[in-house]
Amino acid sequence: MKICQRYLILFCIACLPTLAQAQWFKDTQAIMGTEIRVELWDTSEPHARGCIDKVMTEMRRIDTTMSPFKPDSELSHINQLAAIHPVKIDKELFDLILRAQWASGISNGAFDITFASIGYRYDYRKGIKPSEDEIKQALPEINYKNIILDRKHSTIHFALKGVRIDLGGIAKGFAVDNSIAILRQCGIKEGLVGAGGDSRIIGDREGRPWMVGIRDPRKEGSSAIVIPLSNTAISTSGDYERYFIKDGVRYHHIINPKTGHSATASRSVTVLGPDATTTDALSTTLFIMGAKDGLRLVDTLPGIEAIMIDAEGKLHYSNGLMDPNPKH
Ligand code: ADP
Ligand code: MG
């Protein structure tokens, strides 16, 4: 009996490492008009799959609430009614719009969710753009100060007819942050959630950093640089994501609110920071501001770093990323 017990214990000890062997679990799905990617390190496949499912469900929920393309979304509801009367909205959406307004305030309106007042007239897949007259007419509507938020009643109201908003420059980062919170609740200590150009990493890759490539904006499939990352959020905005070229002009999805045209100061901007809502909003913001003003802003923001590729293809780094041993 004693021997038997001893064998049983030995047998169980021998089994333990294989039973609880941790490994990477991955999934990608097309949601929010982009590729959602979840990778996590876990000991149990059913547990890992359950966590990934929760993340995908959250991505779908945010898409349903915030999509400008779904006529029944809460965002579409705002766009239909907020110029007529104040519209009561969910606290989650209210707070996200407040964060968008923060980005507008610090950038003198480079980030501006009312860009949509003209933005909705672009269709990059079909190569459609608004006329100069339409742009001129819409310019007064494009101003974040046209958004009146009432915190007490949780309402949003537009100061002018014709104002529209779109959260495309911040919602994916927000969805990534919510997903990271879900993974943390799941007990995940190492993982990554990506939504197109916005990602966030918990921990690292088993003691090593994740190697994240920043795409060469003019060469699909090749990286301009690769950076080692752990425990951070990273967002990239580029003029190669959604665009068409007509008469030699690149029409892309990042709109300069001052002109109503696609922003011309950058080809690509990558922002690193503690959360993806902030890095998402700031990558779009800095793209519009350009390297000089953009990096000056970044250097005032604690915990935020940026890598910018300007309109000529030249790389610029924020102070915290400057090469400490430059060759010359
Ligand atoms: P994506 O990951 O979709 O490429 P980005 O973070 O690069 O997104 O931001 C681009 C999106 O931001 C556009 O598709 C649009 O929805 C929105 N956007 C465009 N111009 C502005 C702007 N000036 N201010 C705020 N959002 C903008
Ligand atoms: Mg962005």
Residue by residue, DSSP assigns 268-282 as EEEEEES-HHHHHHH
Domains and CATH numbers, the chain: 74-158 (1.10.3980.10), 209-328 (3.10.520.10)
> For residue 235, which atom of ligand 1 is closest to its CA?
6
User: Which pLDDT does position 323 carry in this prediction?
Assistant: 59
Pocket residues: Cβ below 6 A from ligand 1: 111-113, 115, 166, 168-169, 172, 196-197, 237, 241, 253-255, 257, 280, 283-284, 288
Query: From its phi and psi, is residue 231 left (phi > 0), alpha (psi between -120 and 50) or beta?
Result: left
17 pLDDT more than 50: no
> For residue 197, which atom of ligand 1 is closest to its CA?
2
Confidence of residue 154 (pLDDT cuts 50, 70, 90): very high
User: Which pLDDT does position 326 carry in this prediction?
Assistant: 61
Confidence of residue 18 (pLDDT cuts 50, 70, 90): very low
Ligand nearest to the Cα of 241, by number: 1
6 pLDDT more than 70: no
Give the distance (Å) from ligand 1 centre to CA of residue 223: 22
User: Which pLDDT does position 20 carry in this prediction?
Assistant: 72
Nearest to 288 by CA among 122, 98, 107, 106: 107
Ligand 2 (single-atom ion) residues, CB below 5 Å: 169, 237, 280, 283-284
User: Which pLDDT does position 1 carry in this prediction?
Assistant: 45
Angle between helices 276-289 and 91-106 (to 10 degrees): 40
Q: What is 121-174 written as a DSSP string?
A: T-BTTTTB---HHHHHHHGGG--GGGEEEETTTTEEEESSTT-----TTTHHHH
User: Which pLDDT does position 12 carry in this prediction?
Assistant: 46
Give the distance (Å) from ligand 2 centre to CA of residue 47: 31
Confidence of residue 162 (pLDDT cuts 50, 70, 90): very high
Nearest to 108 by CA among 294, 236, 248: 294
The residue among 310 and 3 whose pLDDT is bigger is: 310
User: Which pLDDT does position 327 carry in this prediction?
Assistant: 59
What residue's CA is closest to ligand 1, atom 26? 169
> For residue 242, which atom of ligand 1 is closest to its CA?
4
User: Which pLDDT does position 5 carry in this prediction?
Assistant: 57
Give the SS3 label for residue 290. Answer: coil
Confidence of residue 49 (pLDDT cuts 50, 70, 90): very high
Q: Tell which one of 73, 145, 254, 255 to mutate to probe ligand 1, the residue whose CB is within 8 A of the most ligand atoms.
A: 254
What residue's CA is closest to ligand 1, atom 6? 169
Give me the percent of the chain exceeding a pLDDT of 70.
92
What b/e string do you get for 224-240 counting C-beta neighbours within 10 Å, with b at 16 or more? beebebeebbbbbbbbe
Asked whether 191 and 181 are in contact (CB, 8 A), the reply is no
The residue among 182 and 328 whose pLDDT is bigger is: 182
9 pLDDT more than 60: no
310 pLDDT more than 70: yes
User: Which pLDDT does position 322 carry in this prediction?
Assistant: 75
Give the distance (Å) from ligand 1 centre to CA of residue 284: 6
Q: Considering the entire predicted model, what is its pTM?
A: 0.93
Number of residues assigned to the chain: 328
Give the distance (Å) from ligand 2 centre to CA of residue 280: 4
CA-based torsion, 170, 175, 181, 183: positive or negative: negative
What residue's CA is closest to ligand 1, atom 17? 169
pLDDT tens track for 51-100: 999 999 999 999 999 999 999 999 999 999 999 999 999 999 999 999 99
Mean pLDDT of the chain: 93
Confidence of residue 241 (pLDDT cuts 50, 70, 90): confident
User: Which pLDDT does position 250 carry in this prediction?
Assistant: 93
Give the distance (Å) from ligand 1 centre to CA of residue 231: 24
What residue's CA is closest to ligand 1, atom 19? 254
Separation between Cα atoms, residue 270 and residue 88, nearest integer Å? 35
7 pLDDT more than 80: no
Give me the percent of the chain exceeding a pLDDT of 90.
91
**Residue 210 corresponds to which tokens in the numbers above?**
């994740």
Query: From its phi and psi, is residue 297 left (phi > 0), alpha (psi between -120 and 50) or beta?
Result: alpha
